[in-house]
């Protein structure tokens, strides 16, 4: 910026050094805002700390907000400054300086924004491929898989409810989702009719359910709590009603619960189709 001020000629006597003033305001504002964003707002950011993935998203959101804050302040303070400092006097017909650009500043801007953007993309990629990014639907064969033993759970979406199958527990199908705490879970999301999206807000998980597709996402719940399950893709009239609660419970409680489910649903489990990654439905078309 500094050379831009110089190129506009030496300021007339009495004219303040606008550039220095503006930069001071911006730097001070940034120095005040950044710690607030990082240390006060950051920890409160959604989606909370329900899982390793959710915690990861809180960090990501904080990083993005911390990078965005100086930019937000730069442009808004600049606009306000310019609006108040550089006015046409009422009814005046003064002309501004005929400055058509500034090579150095333009180059600097390109270099700085490109660097910012490239580092954001690099950061996002690293996070996506790590365990923190594993809560997003990653297709049938995710590029990276968290190490260790995983509990497979299938999420089956249909108009207008989610059901859940536990293949390692005899393929029992339950009407709500219960997960053991501190255990990496491997979610297999699929649909029987239209596109839905499985969204467990507090767990930082979202994965689309497409018919005939096995969409995998990983989550490791870290907190015993009740969480919300929403559908996040428009799927017809009761889309808004595709809402439910799930529970993260202790490992022991989970075992009790799942065995109870196995008993309760034993007859139903027999009648179900064999567990499979996808259930390609007959095309259910209108009028049938």
State which of positions 221-240 bind another protein (CB under 8 A).
228, 230-240
Q: Interface with another protein by CB under 8 A: which range of 105-113, 146-154, 176-184, 246-254?
A: 105-113
CB of 211 to Cu ion, least distance (A): 13
Q: Of 261, 263, 265, whose CA–CA distance to 249 is shortest?
A: 261
How many whole angstroms separate alpha carbon 174 and alpha carbon 154?
10
8 binds, among Cu ion, another protein, none (CB under 5 to 8 A by kind): another protein
How many whole angstroms separate alpha carbon 151 and alpha carbon 81?
57
CB of 235 to Cu ion, least distance (A): 3
18 binds, among another protein, Cu ion, none (CB under 5 to 8 A by kind): another protein
Q: How many CB atoms lie within 10 A of CB 73?
A: 19
**Size of the residue set binding Cu ion (CB under 5 A):** 5
- Determine if 239 is a binding residue for Cu ion (CB under 5 A): yes
Element (H, E) at 119: helix 103-129
Tell me which of 26, 37, 47, 172 binds another protein, using CB under 8 A.
47
Please say whether the beta carbons of 247 and 221 come within 8 A. no
Nearer to Cu ion, 205 or 249 (CB): 205
How many whole angstroms separate alpha carbon 195 and alpha carbon 158?
9
Nearer to another protein, 118 or 272 (CB): 118
Nearer to another protein, 39 or 109 (CB): 109
Q: b/e map of 145-165 (b: 16 or more CB within 10 Å)? A: ebeeebbebbbbbbbbbbebb
Q: Is 144 helix (H, G, I), strand (E, B) or coil?
A: coil
- Determine if 235 is a binding residue for Cu ion (CB under 5 A): yes
- Determine if 220 is a binding residue for another protein (CB under 8 A): no
- Determine if 229 is a binding residue for Cu ion (CB under 5 A): no
- Determine if 206 is a binding residue for Cu ion (CB under 5 A): no
Nearer to another protein, 243 or 257 (CB): 243
Q: Interface with another protein by CB under 8 A: which range of 8-16, 34-42, 163-171, 248-256?
A: 8-16
Within 8 A by CB and 6+ apart from 164, the residues are 153, 154, 155, 156, 173, 174, 175, 176, 177
Residue 46 CB-density burial (10 A; 0-12 exposed, 13-18 middle, 19+ buried): exposed
């Amino acid at each position: 910026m500094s050379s831009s001020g110089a190129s506009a000629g030496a300021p007339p006597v009495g004219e303040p050094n606008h550039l220095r003033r503006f930069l001071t305001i911006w730097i001070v504002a940034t120095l005040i805002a950044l710690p607030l964003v990082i240390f006060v707002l950051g920890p409160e950011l959604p989606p909370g700390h329900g899982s390793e993935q959710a915690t990861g998203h809180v960090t990501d959101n904080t990083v993005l907000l911390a990078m965005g804050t100086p930019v937000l302040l730069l442009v808004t303070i600049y606009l306000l400054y310019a609006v108040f400092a550089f006015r046409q006097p009422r009814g005046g017909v003064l002309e501004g300086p005929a400055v058509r650009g500034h090579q150095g500043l333009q180059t600097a801007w390109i270099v700085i924004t490109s660097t910012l953007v490239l580092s954001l993309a690099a950061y996002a990629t690293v996070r996506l491929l790590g365990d923190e990014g594993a809560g997003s639907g990653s297709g049938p064969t995710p590029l990276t898989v968290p190490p260790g033993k995983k509990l497979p759970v299938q999420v089956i979406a249909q108009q207008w409810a989610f059901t859940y199958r536990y293949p390692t527990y005899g393929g029992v199908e339950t009407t709500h989702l219960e997960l053991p705490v501190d255990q990496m879970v491997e979610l297999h999301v699929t649909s029987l009719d239209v596109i839905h999206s499985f969204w467990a807000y507090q767990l930082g998980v979202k994965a689309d359910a497409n018919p005939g597709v096995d969409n995998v996402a990983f989550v490791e719940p870290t907190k015993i709590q009740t969480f919300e399950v929403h559908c996040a893709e428009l799927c017809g009239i009761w889309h808004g009603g595709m809402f439910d609660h799930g529970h993260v419970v202790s490992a022991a409680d989970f075992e009790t619960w799942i065995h109870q489910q196995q008993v309760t649903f034993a007859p139903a489990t027999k009648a179900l189709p064999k567990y499979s990654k996808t259930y390609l439905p007959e095309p259910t078309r209108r009028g049938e």
